[in-house]
Amino acid sequence: MLKRCFILFLFRDIFEAKFFHIAYVRSLCGEINIDLFEITCYLEILGFLKKHANNPTSLRSGMRMGPYEYKEDKMKKIFIFDLDDTLYWNVHDYCYPMLEFEKFILDILGHKAPHISVMRKLEGEIDRGRVKEFGYSIDRFPGSLVETYRTICSRIDIPFDKRIAKKIWQIGMKAFDSDIYKRKGLIKDAEEVLNFLKEQGDKLILLTKGDQYVQKLKINALNLKRWFPDIFIVPSKTEALFRKIKFECSLLENYWFWQAKGWKEIEIYGVGNSFQSDIKPALEASLSCIYIPCETWEFKEEPEKALKEAGKNKLFIFQEIIEIKERYKEL
């Protein structure tokens, strides 16, 4: 508590002075014996706050720098949303190119082609195996189809044809299509929920794992900036990442609220469809979570134990996204 108060007082000094000096920060930290790691963390936050100080329009109306003002009675909540299969049905974007690939192989290899179930199993194994090497890059999926074709050629002892491989690559690239994203739009009720949360004055953050190019394509096609001023595209979601976001956002919001209404811990929720990727690291970072399960190609069994340990106050399991609005008062 003492340290929290110190940070908040420090912020006030900095804002009123509109600048800070490291020696000044260090001398203040020395007085109450804060270590270097914490100083580094504070400086990260200061950078974040300074960015907002220089861009007042990035702060919501009702809050401004300098003489402090926080017009609302309630403290807003922060929701960190996942994108794929939480706000947008993504998994089947890959199914159509897979079906086209299988038909293509049947057409060109005829009776020599493996059974469709064998092809599908083989493609799945190869694709999962390539996650280690390629992560969630745009090259992985079309490359996995080409590698499946290469393996089939080797198994039935026919030469690998580069022209066919090129055609297969093009089939794989159909999984990433801006027009499809636009045509499909957000999942049912997602828009209603996001509008509702925005009306409540809550802060919405988009945290999505995947290829920068592909995710930006989706974000633009779905016009997600309407709701998410802060968007992060990351190669993986970790406890440290959730902690960093929590640290930056919660201190900023706590600060404004504390100035007007007194100290209150802010509520932050991680929202996602994947236990392993969205929920587990967020729980480890002491966030509350809203888990809306959806099975995907990289499905892993949910650890019942971890779910139970998370407890009722920390973890909400919803079947549909609309429950965020319907059960908002329980959050």
Residues that bind Mg ion in the complex, under the rule CB under 5 A: 82, 84-85, 273-274
Q: How far is the CB of 155 from Mg ion (least distance, A)?
A: 34
Total H helices, total E strands in the chain: 14, 6
Instruction: Answer whether 47's CB lies under 8 Å from 21's CB.
Output: no
Q: How far is the CB of 278 from Mg ion (least distance, A)?
A: 6
* Spatial distance between the Cα atoms of 319 and 328, rounded to a whole number of angstroms: 14
Judged by beta carbon, residue 84 or residue 211, the one nearer Mg ion is 84
Q: How far is the CB of 237 from Mg ion (least distance, A)?
A: 10
* Spatial distance between the Cα atoms of 181 and 7, rounded to a whole number of angstroms: 44
Backbone angles phi, psi at 59, to 5 degrees: -90, 150
Q: How far is the CB of 137 from Mg ion (least distance, A)?
A: 17
Judged by beta carbon, residue 85 or residue 253, the one nearer Mg ion is 85
Judged by beta carbon, residue 72 or residue 230, the one nearer Mg ion is 230
Q: How far is the CB of 136 from Mg ion (least distance, A)?
A: 11
* Spatial distance between the Cα atoms of 79 and 271, rounded to a whole number of angstroms: 7
Contacts of 204 (CB under 8 A, 6+ apart): 78, 79, 81, 194, 197, 198, 227, 228, 229, 230
Instruction: Give me the residue whose beta carbon is nearest to Mg ion.
Output: 84
Judged by beta carbon, residue 85 or residue 202, the one nearer Mg ion is 85
Judged by beta carbon, residue 209 or residue 246, the one nearer Mg ion is 209
Find tokens 């179930």 and name the residue. Answer: 117
- How many Cβ atoms sit within 10 Å of the Cβ of residue 208? 27
Pair of tokens at residue 257: 């609220």
Judged by beta carbon, residue 215 or residue 288, the one nearer Mg ion is 215
Q: How far is the CB of 59 from Mg ion (least distance, A)?
A: 29
